[in-house]
Amino acid sequence: MLSWIKRFALGLDKLGMEEQQAVMVFTPNTLFVPAVYLASAGSKRYFTGANPIYTVGEVAHQMKAIEAAIVLIHPSLLDTGIAAARQANIPKDRLFIFSDTEGPTRGGVRDWHSMLATASEAKSWQWDPLHGEASLKTIAAINFSSGTTGLPKGVCITHRNLIANSAQSIFNKYEGTQYSADNPGPERWLAFLPLYHAYSQLWTINIACRLKVPVYVMAKFVYEEFLKCIQQYKITTLQSVPPVIVMLSKRPETSKYDISSLRQILCGAAPLKSELQNEVCKRFNVNIVQAWGMTETTCAGIMMPGTIQDKTGSIGYLLPNTEAMLIDDDGKEVTKDGEPGEVWLRGPQMLLGYWRNEQATRESKTADGWFKTGDVGVCKEGKKWWIVDRKKELIKVNGLQVAPAELEAVLLEHPDVADAATVGITIHDEEFPRAYVVVQEHAKGRITEDDIKKFVASKVARHKWLEGGVKFIDEVPKLASGKIVRKLMKEWAKRDAKEVEGQVKARL
Residue 19 placed within a domain: yes
Whether 353 contacts 361, CB under 8 Å: yes
Examine the domain organization and report whether 91 and 190 are in the same domain: no
> What is the per-residue burial (b if ≥16 Cβ within 10 Å, else e) of 243-282?
bbbbbbeeeeebeeeebebbbbbbbbbbbbeeebbbebbe
Examine the domain organization and report whether 272 and 381 are in the same domain: yes
Identify the domain boundary among 96, 128, 160. 128
Q: Is 179 left (phi over 0), alpha (psi -120 to 50) or beta?
A: beta
Identify the domain boundary among 103, 128, 153. 128
CA distance 142 to 161: 12
pLDDT score of 147: 62
Q: Residues 6 or more apart from 391 whose CB is under 8 A from it? A: 148, 342, 374, 375, 376
CATH number at residue 316: 3.40.50.12780
Residue 232 placed within a domain: yes
Q: In 10 A of CB 479, how many CB atoms?
A: 8
pLDDT score of 327: 94
Cβ neighbourhood burial of 109 (10 Å; 0-12, 13-18, 19+): buried
Q: Round to the nearest angstrom and report the end-to-end CA distance of the chain.
A: 30
Q: Are strands 153-158 and 139-145 parallel, antiparallel or unpaired?
A: antiparallel
Examine the domain organization and report whether 321 and 375 are in the same domain: yes
Helix (H) / strand (E) element for 385: namely: strand 384-390
pLDDT score of 132: 85
Q: What is the mean pLDDT of each run of 10 residues along the chain (508 residues)?
A: 95 96 97 97 96 93 95 98 97 96 93 95 89 92 78 92 97 88 91 94 96 95 96 97 89 94 92 88 95 95 91 94 93 90 96 95 94 92 86 80 85 90 89 93 91 94 94 86 80 86 52
CA distance 394 to 150: 9
For residue 282, the enclosing domain spans 143-390
Examine the domain organization and report whether 402 and 430 are in the same domain: yes
Residue 494 placed within a domain: yes
Strand order across the 470-472 sheet: 417-427, 430-439, 470-472
pLDDT score of 233: 97
Examine the domain organization and report whether 359 and 335 are in the same domain: yes
Examine the domain organization and report whether 155 and 104 are in the same domain: no
C-alpha 449: how far from chain center: 30
Residue 347 placed within a domain: yes
Residue 133 placed within a domain: no
Residue 134 placed within a domain: no
CATH number at residue 484: 3.30.300.30
Residue 506 placed within a domain: no
Examine the domain organization and report whether 161 and 99 are in the same domain: no
Examine the domain organization and report whether 86 and 148 are in the same domain: no
pLDDT score of 19: 95
CATH number at residue 59: 3.40.50.980
pLDDT score of 306: 86
Number of domains composing the chain: 3
Whole-prediction pTM value? 0.84
What size, in residues, is the chain? 508
Helix (H) / strand (E) element for 73: namely: strand 68-73
Residue pLDDT, tens place only, 124-158: 888 888 888 899 999 999 999 866 566 779 999 99
Give me the helix-helix angle, 2-14 and 33-42, nearest 10°: 60
Q: In 10 A of CB 107, how many CB atoms?
A: 11
Examine the domain organization and report whether 367 and 446 are in the same domain: no
Q: Are strands 95-97 and 68-73 parallel, antiparallel or unpaired?
A: parallel
Examine the domain organization and report whether 83 and 151 are in the same domain: no
Examine the domain organization and report whether 353 and 321 are in the same domain: yes
Residue 149 placed within a domain: yes
Examine the domain organization and report whether 117 and 207 are in the same domain: no
Whether 492 contacts 484, CB under 8 Å: no
Of the candidates 195, 203, 403, the one whose C-alpha atom is nearest the C-alpha of residue 299 is 203
Identify the domain boundary among 104, 128, 152. 128
pLDDT score of 293: 94
pLDDT score of 480: 64
CA distance 68 to 59: 11
